[in-house]
Chains A and B, each alone.
Chain A
Amino acid sequence: MADDAESYLLLVLSDANLPTGSFVASAGLESHVAHAVFHLGGPRDPMGACIAFLRDSVATYARSALPFARDAQRIIMDYATGDVLDPVSSAGSTLDVLARLDALYDTNTLNHVSRRASRSQGVALLTLHSKGFTRPAILSPPTDDTLSSEARNALAREKRVGTLLDEFKLRIRRDETFGHLPVCWGLLAGALGLSLDRGAHLHLFLHARGVLSAAIRMNAIGPYAAQQLLLHAVRPMVDAEASGARELRTGLLEPTLLTAEADEVDVFRDAEQMPSTTWPLGELLAGRHDLLHSRIFNS
Chain B
Amino acid sequence: MAPTSPLQDDHGKTAGRGQITIRSHGADISFPELAYTYPLKLLSPRIVQDGVGVVYMLSYGGGLVGGDSVHLSVDVGPGPRLVLLSQGSTKVFKTRAGSRAAPTRAGNDFAATRQRLDARVAAGGALLLLPDPVTCFRGAAYEQVQTLRLAAGASAVLLDWYTAGRRARGEAWAFARYRSVNEVFVDGARVARDAVLLDGCPDAVHPLPARALADKMAPYACYATVLLFGPLVGELVGELDARFKEISVFQVREPLEVLWSLSAVQGQGRILRVAGKETEDVRNWLKEALRALEKVVGDDVYNKAFV
Residues of chain A from 266 to 292 with CB closer than 8 A to chain B in the complex: 267-268, 271-272, 274-281, 283-285, 287-288, 291-292
- Is A56 an interface residue when CB atoms closer than 8 A count as contact? yes
Q: Would B195 and A55 count as touching, CB distance under 8 A? A: no
- The majority secondary structure among interface residues of chain A is helix
Which of the segments A14-22, A106-114, A141-149, A169-177 contacts the partner chain?
A: A106-114
- Is B172 an interface residue when CB atoms closer than 8 A count as contact? no
- Is B255 an interface residue when CB atoms closer than 8 A count as contact? yes
Q: Would A110 and B208 count as touching, CB distance under 8 A? A: no
Contact of A271 among B118, B149, B179, B261 (CB under 8 A): B179
- Is B192 an interface residue when CB atoms closer than 8 A count as contact? yes
Q: Would A107 and B217 count as touching, CB distance under 8 A? A: no
Q: Would B195 and A277 count as touching, CB distance under 8 A? A: yes
- Is B283 an interface residue when CB atoms closer than 8 A count as contact? no
Knowing A34-B251, A35-B249, A278-B199, say if A288 contacts B219 (CB, 8 Å). Answer: no
In the assembled complex, which residues on chain A have CB atoms less than 8 Å from the CB atom of B106?
A: none
Q: Would A291 and B263 count as touching, CB distance under 8 A? A: no
Q: Would B116 and A281 count as touching, CB distance under 8 A? A: no
Contact of A267 among B116, B223, B261, B271 (CB under 8 A): B116
Interface range for A:
35 or more
Q: Would A274 and B195 count as touching, CB distance under 8 A? A: yes
In the assembled complex, which residues on chain B have CB atoms less than 8 Å from the CB atom of A292?
A: 249
Q: Would A55 and B265 count as touching, CB distance under 8 A? A: no
Q: Number of contacts between A and B (CB, 8 Å)?
A: 144
Contact of B217 among A260, A268, A274, A280 (CB under 8 A): A280
A275 to B197, CA, bound (A): 9
- Is A104 an interface residue when CB atoms closer than 8 A count as contact? yes
Knowing A51-B208, A107-B191, A107-B192, say if A288 contacts B249 (CB, 8 Å). Answer: yes
Q: Would B207 and A236 count as touching, CB distance under 8 A? A: yes
**Which residue of chain A lies nearest to B211 when distances are taken between CB atoms in the complex?**
A55
In the assembled complex, which residues on chain A have CB atoms less than 8 Å from the CB atom of B116?
A: 264, 267-268
Q: Would A108 and B249 count as touching, CB distance under 8 A? A: no
- Is A220 an interface residue when CB atoms closer than 8 A count as contact? no
- Is B38 an interface residue when CB atoms closer than 8 A count as contact? no
Contact of A37 among B192, B219, B261 (CB under 8 A): B219
Q: Would B145 and A271 count as touching, CB distance under 8 A? A: yes
Q: Would A267 and B145 count as touching, CB distance under 8 A? A: yes
24 residue pairs A–B, Cβ–Cβ below 8 Å = A33-B251, A35-B252, A35-B256, A36-B251, A63-B197, A104-B193, A108-B193, A110-B263, A111-B273, A237-B205, A260-B190, A267-B116, A267-B147, A267-B181, A277-B196, A280-B196, A280-B198, A280-B273, A281-B223, A283-B261, A283-B273, A287-B273, A292-B249, A293-B249
